Structure 1
Amino acid sequence: MIRKTTIGLALVAALLSGNVLADVGHGEKMHGKPMNTETVGSPGNAADVTKTIKVSMNDTMTFTPSQFSADVGETVRIFVKNEGKIPHELVIGSLDNMKNHAEMMRQMPNMQHQESNMITLQPGQMSALIWKFEEQGDVDFACLIPGHMEAGMVGKVSVN
């Protein structure tokens, strides 16, 4: 009993201090900050939105459109709608980081996301993600639900 209490208190102290490794609690919820987004941008403010893009997701494992453009420094509101009959998500990040994260999701199928660079939607749901694209180049987005990215559910933002 003492050992469980000690471990529990240590976990609470770590959570309160913010010094928790990303894998702690990964089986149920994601860490609260975007996964390695330093090269793809940052969460944007609604007041700064200069462009709105509508993206639909469907069960053929596609995003429509699968490509769009943004200017360096531009804040974009991405309206995302799941037109399928199964859950889908849109995650902004580097392709390498997303591949690593997709593998983690295969190992932990109950993982839930709470990060500013992603949106997870049930069938028929619609929501928005606001993102500021900060550097020139290509920025990837994908659905990281196991098997979806591998089936081709990927897209690209050209930042000019």
Structure 2
Amino acid sequence: MKKLTSALLAAFIASASPLAFAHGDEGHAKKAGPVKKEQKEWGIAGDSKAVSRTITVGMSDAMRFSPEKIDVKQGETIRFVIKNSGKIMHEMVIGTRKDLDEHAALMVKFPGMEHEEPYMAHVGPGKTGQIVWTFNKPGNFDFACLIAGHYQAGMVGKINVATR
């Protein structure tokens, strides 16, 4: 019984180790292959050949984005070039306030959680990342850095998608 308990405990620890969850490390390199195109309330993954505009977004260790407010038109495919001028990992995740709130709560609970979606970019210190996104629905949406503590410190922004 003691061996079984030890084996179960070891399996649990291994499955919950930081190696199993790599959020915030260089393990977030984009994987080769097609991007998953899943319709979201705030749009769908864009095709880089259809980009109508490029917007550069800066991130810093002051827990701020620049710009903090972005205006686009419904139907635009935007290439976000995300530059991390800080000394720590940051990310940009696009979504609704509700989705970002829920995701941020998970990140606090599981700070090493690994995830990758076409509406997010994890950018190491001094590095640049990108998101190509088609805003095919009008509305007011948000973007944020959901690394534990960053969202809570106010690292958020707004995207207004105007009807054509």
State the TM-score, normalized to the length of structure 1.
0.77
Corresponding residue for 1:28? 21
SS in 2 for 1:138: strand
Instruction: Determine if contact 1:88/1:120 at 8 Å carries over to the other structure.
Output: yes
Change (3 A) 1:140 1:37: farther
Q: State the distance in 2 between where 1:136 and 1:124 align.
A: 33
CA distance in 2, matches of 1:29, 1:136: 34
Kindly report structure 1 stretches of 4+ aligned residues shifted beyond 3 Å.
none
Aligned counterpart for 1:66 among listed residues 65, 68, 72: 68
Q: Give RMSD over aligned pairs.
A: 2.0
CA offsets per residue over residues 100-131 of structure 1, 9 Å max, x none? 11111111121122111100111001011100
Residue 40 of structure 1: SS of its match in structure 2? coil
What aligned pairs does 1:98-117 form with structure 2 within 5 A after superposition?
Answer: 98-117=100-119
Size of the aligned set, in residue pairs, is 132
What 5-or-longer segments of structure 2 have no aligned partner? 1-19, 24-34
Query: What is residue 85 of structure 1 aligned with on the other side?
Result: 87
Distance 1:37 1:110 in 2: 27
Shift, 1:33, TM fit = 6.0
Q: What SS does structure 2 have at the residue aligned with 1:92?
A: strand
Contact 1:57 1:63 in 2 (8 A): yes
| Whole-angstrom distance in 2 between the partners of 1:80 and 1:128 | 6
Q: Which residue type is aligned with residue 68 of structure 2?
A: S
1:79–1:129 CA contact under 8 A, matched in 2: yes
- Distance in 2 separating the partners of 1:37 and 1:62: 28
Identity between Structure 1 and Structure 2 (%)? 41
Consecutive unaligned residues in structure 1, runs of 5 or more = 1-26
Instruction: Give the whole-Å Cα distance in 1 for the aligned partners of 2:139 and 2:151.
Output: 21
- Equivalent pair of 2:36/2:45 in contact (CA under 8 Å): no
What's the TM-score, normalizing by structure 2? 0.75
User: Displacement of 1:29 after TM fit?
Assistant: 6.5
In the alignment, which residue of structure 1 is the partner of 2:132? 130
Deviation sequence 1:24-54 (CA, Å, 0-9, x none): xxx6269x968x9621001000111001100
Residue 150 of structure 1 corresponds to which residue in structure 2?
Answer: 152
Q: 2:56 aligns with which of 54, 57, 67?
A: 54
